[in-house]
A and B are shown apart, each in its own frame.
Chain A
Amino acid sequence: RKEVEQDPGPFNVPEGATVAFNCTYSNSASQSFFWYRQDCRKEPKLLMSVYSSGNEDGRFTAQLNRASQYISLLIRDSKLSDSATYLCVVFFMDTGRRALTFGSGTRLQVQP
């Protein structure tokens, strides 16, 4: 089983739609979580960190469910410019080992 798993998509949604992605992680000792956005042929860029209480940044809402070991990203009122691949990133640290692991990404295509 992969340490971080995402549905690769693509998710094809119309402009204005609400769309949500989940990302599951296998290590219960995971401590920090992030969502990155990657445009085609570009580098990943930090979209938002994910806090235990959940957090919102404009149209984007991130949530963490430790009991079920997943994080989610909700995008409201989708724009054409939201089309990209969204990468889930998980950090954990325990004795002798620390790792920041990237998921393979979920592709979103917003259509006019």
Chain B
Amino acid sequence: DVKVTQSSRYLVKRTGEKVFLECVQDMDHENMFWYRQDPGLGLRLIYFSYDVKMKEKGDIPEGYSVSREKKERFSLILESASTNQTSMYLCASSLGASNQPQHFGDGTRLSIL
């Protein structure tokens, strides 16, 4: 079974802090994704990566950056956290072909105070 692990289930940070969310997958998947999920808005893609050191903007990249230095790890960075970034963050990975189904981590519920 694919295992996608997110570093924290719950996280509380303060406005203006730099926040790191980590995601690791153990199935040698090429593709990795970061989403946020908010009530009534569904899943929205923040950033994704199809290869090491490669990244592409999703639908809502503003206020975020990412890093993929190793194939198994994809980090999401909130440069200066704001209250409107309070959300559930979900990491996913998938095999190389873009149309393959994604496997999700448990999610990180991030609160910015």
Contact = CB atoms under 8 A, between A and B. Distances in A.
Contact of B40 (A45, A49, A104): A104
Contacts of A45: 104
Contacts, number: 41
A40 to B, nearest CB: 11
Contact of B106 (A8, A31, A42): A42
30 contacts: A31-B99, A32-B99, A42-B106, A42-B107, A43-B90, A43-B104, A43-B105, A43-B106, A43-B107, A44-B43, A46-B101, A46-B102, A49-B101, A87-B43, A89-B101, A91-B98, A91-B99, A93-B99, A98-B98, A99-B45, A100-B33, A100-B45, A100-B98, A100-B99, A102-B35, A102-B43, A103-B42, A104-B40, A104-B41, A105-B42
Interface of B: 33, 35, 40-43, 45, 90, 98-99, 101-107
